[in-house]
Amino acid sequence: MKTIHTNQNLEEMYNHPDVALAIGFFDGLHLGHMSVINKMKTIADSKHLAKAVMTFDPHPSVVLNPEKKRTDYLTPLDEKKRILEAQGIDYLFVVAFTSRFAQMEEEDFIKDYLTNNHVKEVIAGFDFTYGKFGKGNMLKLEADKQGFNVTVVEKQELNSEKIATTQIRNALVDGNIIEANTQLGRPYKISGLVVQGEKRGRTIGFPTANVAPDESYVLPKLGVYAVTLRRTGSDQVLKGVCNIGYKPTFHDPAVSAVSIEVHIFDFAESIYGERVEVFWHEFIRPEQKFNGIDALIAQISQDKLTAEQLLADISLD
């Protein structure tokens, strides 16, 4: 997949064949987003066009609504790239959402980013908007199109509710991993680097991999989870129990940073410095402070047993 970042010289991004283009912010690449992507792929194959996606960075709220700006994501840009590449996308256009871009007139967006960009088919969700003040919508795009066809993908629902990034974010913050995963169509994932931690876990019989996210992900509710972990470059799925939080038994949450620590079952290798993916499957309990080491060990033992039972039928191979 070739990634093309836009800049002031837009002609630099025009060096590619004719494309079918799915367009949207696509944070999460959830089931609703995938309906747009899959529709684009079907059209591209039928018309012998390259498969392309256009997304924006950062989230438009950073420019349009600073008081409620979104700076953490279900799929930060690099994560989005990995997922789209696995989907067989040929070109990813990353449009810098700046104040200048936000002021662009609708007809200029159509000309510069679609018509001149060799786009022959545009596929987007029913609620996609563009141009200054977001006045352009899919009906207007159909009316004003220049050299391309327009396909609108209608609202995608699950249990009579719209599948939406906001719903998934809220579910994660509430610890409702099952709901979030259902709307995503896959387990929520956080990628990161295994870094040196305090190594306290190994002294109490539960060594952990301390995972530092490499991008600004939405973090699930603090607590204990049944998770799986995959090392970069490996197809092997490792099962484990994860604590995300401040470790209040040992630290003051007011001055500590959130950590993600995974105890991997039946695993003794050192993986410091390796990049891993943590898949979140089910919430077990909130984080809590214990009166002593013995109480903590007893609870971790129970958490491990619970996670093993929850993950018994899980496989990502």
Average pLDDT over residues 93-99: 94
d(CA 242, CA 304): 9
Question: Residue 102: pLDDT above 70?
Answer: yes
Q: Which residues contact 104 (CB under 8 A, 6 or more apart)?
A: 112, 131, 132
Q: Name the DSSP letter for residue 90.
A: S
pLDDT, tens only, 42-82: 999 999 999 999 999 999 999 998 888 899 999 999 999 99
Pick left, alpha or beta for residue 285 (phi over 0 → left; psi -120 to 50 → alpha; otherwise beta). beta
Q: Which residues contact 211 (CB under 8 A, 6 or more apart)?
A: 190, 192, 193, 194, 195, 260, 261, 262, 276, 278
> What phi, psi does 171 have (nearest 5°)?
-65, -40
d(CA 131, CA 155): 22
Question: Residue 255: pLDDT above 60?
Answer: no
Report yes or no: 121 and 152 within 8 Å, Cβ to Cβ. no
Report yes or no: 128 and 22 within 8 Å, Cβ to Cβ. no
d(CA 228, CA 241): 8
Residues linked to residue 20 through DSSP beta bridges, in sequence order: 51, 121
Helices (H) and strands (E) in the chain, counts: 10, 14
d(CA 3, CA 152): 24
Question: Residue 119: pLDDT above 80?
Answer: yes
* Percent of all residues in the chain with a pLDDT value above 90, rounded to a whole number: 74
d(CA 146, CA 277): 42
pLDDT at residue 198, as a whole number: 64
pLDDT, tens only, 269-292: 889 999 999 999 999 999 887 777
For residue 199, give both structure tokens: 């190594």
pLDDT at residue 11, as a whole number: 79
Average pLDDT over residues 109-129: 97
Cis peptide before 213 (omega within 30 of 0): no
Cα distances (angstroms) measured from residue 294 to each of 73, 214, 252, 285, 300: 37, 34, 20, 18, 10
Report yes or no: 61 and 69 within 8 Å, Cβ to Cβ. yes
* Domains of the chain with bracketed CATH: 2-162 (3.40.50.620), 165-310 (2.40.30.30)
Which of 23, 53, 83 shows the shortest CA–CA distance to 215? 83
